[in-house]
């Protein structure tokens, strides 16, 4: 997929672009956006739509099974990512407005991924449909945000750390699938235990030591500080928008009950991605990834995700509320483990 993204970015606007999908591994074949690495950090950049997308089911069926399982992982993000996008839009932290047209078509298709009564061919067609529709709605929305929330951030953080250290990492979709269970658990804990939407706007503040926290989280994998500075600029831009969004934030909390009800509907039970992943034999835990991700690295990835880019998610709200700490991480991993995900191996307690 990285080759496809590079080719799309490099293609002249006037030249015909035909994309031939070789695996059901990500939704990126069908959208006009590309994920590139800049300054060691993963960044999504506009590119262009393909003039034609060719999907030969025989070709996709012959793809390595690991790629197909990764596609399932990318698809199950639908059970957590729309909540992050809705939250950002409602708080005035996204330039757009939440629109179910960019979410509902995928949510309607995704439950069939867990249907074990389907034949292999039928299941593959469902997966192709989910990923293709996902790419199309992302392109129509002009942003990956509808289908890319906390779970994608965790995967990007794992990629960035592996690249900085010169070690291998698993496929993007495989990591997203495991992280989707964690993201759903984070929403569950935030809603049911933290009661984060019972807060008042005055309870939310940009940490005075924010820049130090960004540098500290990235220092272990890049002691030069370059990655920390790159991420620090993105996080500072995010917090500048937060300061400017004060009137919208106040309006959000004035209607907190309505917003919370919507967020509860969008943030799925962690058991939903687990069921779909298991139906395809895809990993549900960090220990199940290839290579295996240790519990310490998984915990670090969760802790780092709000300090990576300028797009807001639930993690940022928890940072602003002063709740982004070890106690929260413990409870999130326990909740994910209860659903069949989490660290795997030796459980975090």
Write the DSSP assignment of 165-224 as a string of letters. HT-----HHHHHHHHHHHHHHHHHHIIIII-GGGS-GGG----TTHHHHHHHHHTTT-TT
Closest CA to 70 of 141, 163, 169: 169
Query: b/e string for 297-335 if b means 16 or more Cβ within 10 A?
Result: bbbbbbbbbbbbbbbbbbbbbbbbeebbeeebbebbbbb
Burial of 234 (0-12, 13-18, 19+ CB in 10 A): middle
Name 134's Cβ contacts closer than 8 Å, sequence gap at least 6. Answer: 27, 30, 74, 75, 78, 106, 147
Residue 36: the pLDDT is 61
Joined together, the tokens standing for residue 347 give: 């459980």
Rounded Cα distance between 211 and 281, Å, is 41
Residue pair 78/147 in contact by the 8 Å Cβ criterion:
yes
The answer to whether 147 and 44 have CB atoms below 8 angstroms apart is: no
Structure token digits, residue 339: 């659903």
pLDDT in tens, the chain (349 residues): 555 545 555 555 567 888 999 999 999 899 887 766 656 555 666 778 888 999 999 999 999 999 999 999 999 999 999 999 999 999 999 988 999 999 999 999 999 999 999 999 999 999 999 999 999 999 999 899 999 999 999 999 999 999 888 999 999 999 999 999 999 999 999 999 999 999 999 999 999 999 999 999 999 999 999 999 999 999 999 999 999 999 999 999 999 999 999 999 999 999 999 999 999 999 999 999 999 999 999 999 999 999 999 999 999 999 999 999 999 999 999 999 999 999 996 444 3
Predicted TM-score (pTM) of this structure: 0.91
Q: If we measure between CA atoms, which residue out of 143, 158, 205 comes closest to residue 305? A: 158
What's the pLDDT at 346? Answer: 45
Cβ contact 201:246 at 8 Å: yes
| b (16+ CB within 10 A) / e for 249-273 | beebbeeeeebeebbeebbbebbbb
The CB density around residue 229, as the number of other CB atoms within 10 Å, is: 15
Q: Which CATH number fits the domain 64-339, given the four candidates 3.30.830.10, 1.20.1090.10, 1.10.287.110, 3.40.50.12780?
A: 1.20.1090.10
Both tokens of 11, joined, read 């293609």
Q: Where are the domains of the chain?
A: 64-339
Instruction: Give the dihedral of Cα atoms 333, 339, 342, 343; nearest 10 deg.
Output: 110
Q: Which residue bears the tokens 């298709």?
A: 109
- Tokens 């919370």 label which residue? 260
Are 283 and 70 within 8 A, CB to CB?
no
Locate 65 and state its tokens: 């099974």
Q: What is the DSSP letter of 91?
A: T
Q: 291: which 2 tokens?
A: 């290579």
* pLDDT score, position 13: 59
Nearest to 214 by CA among 194, 229, 198, 201: 229
pLDDT for the residue 50: 86
Sequence-distant (≥ 6) Cβ neighbours of residue 208 within 8 angstroms: none
Helix (H, G, I), strand (E, B) or coil at 35: strand
Phi/psi at 164 (5° precision): -65, -35
Which residues, in sequence order, are bridge partners of residue 34? Answer: 45
Which pLDDT belongs to residue 349? Answer: 36
């Amino acid at each position: 997929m990285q080759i496809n993204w590079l080719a799309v970015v490099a293609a002249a606007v006037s030249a015909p672009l035909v994309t031939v999908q070789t695996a059901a591994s990500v939704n990126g074949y069908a959208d006009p956006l590309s994920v590139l690495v800049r300054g060691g950090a993963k960044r999504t950049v506009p590119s262009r739509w393909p003039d034609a997308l060719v999907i030969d089911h025989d070709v996709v069926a012959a793809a390595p099974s690991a790629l197909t399982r990764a596609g399932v992982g990318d698809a199950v993000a639908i059970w957590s990512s729309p909540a992050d996008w809705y939250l950002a839009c409602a708080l005035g932290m996204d330039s757009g407005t939440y629109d179910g047209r960019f979410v509902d078509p995928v949510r309607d298709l995704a439950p069939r991924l867990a249907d074990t009564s389907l034949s292999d061919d039928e299941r593959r067609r469902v997966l192709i449909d989910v990923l293709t529709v996902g790419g199309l709605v992302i392109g129509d929305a002009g942003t990956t945000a509808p289908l890319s929330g906390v779970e994608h951030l965790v995967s990007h953080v794992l990629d960035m750390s592996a690249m900085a250290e010169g070690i291998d990492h698993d496929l993007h979709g495989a990591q997203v699938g495991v992280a989707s269970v964690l993201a759903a658990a984070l929403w569950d804990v935030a809603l049911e235990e933290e009661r984060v939407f019972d807060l008042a706007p005055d309870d939310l503040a940009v940490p005075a030591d924010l820049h130090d926290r960004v540098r500290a989280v990235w220092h272990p994998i890049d002691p030069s500080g370059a990655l920390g500075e790159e991420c620090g600029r993105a996080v500072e831009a995010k917090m500048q928008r937060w300061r400017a969004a004060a009137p919208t934030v106040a309006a959000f909390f004035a209607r907190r009950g309505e917003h919370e009800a919507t967020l509860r509907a969008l943030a799925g039970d962690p058991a939903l991605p687990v069921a779909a992943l298991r139906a395809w034999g895809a990993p549900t835990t960090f220990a199940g990834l290839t290579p295996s991700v240790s519990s310490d690295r998984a915990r670090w990835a969760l802790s780092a995700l709000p300090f990576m880019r300028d797009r807001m998610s639930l993690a940022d709200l928890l940072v602003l509320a002063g709740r982004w700490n070890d106690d929260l991480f413990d409870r999130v991993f326990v909740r994910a483990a209860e659903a069949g995900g989490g660290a795997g191996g030796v459980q975090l307690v």
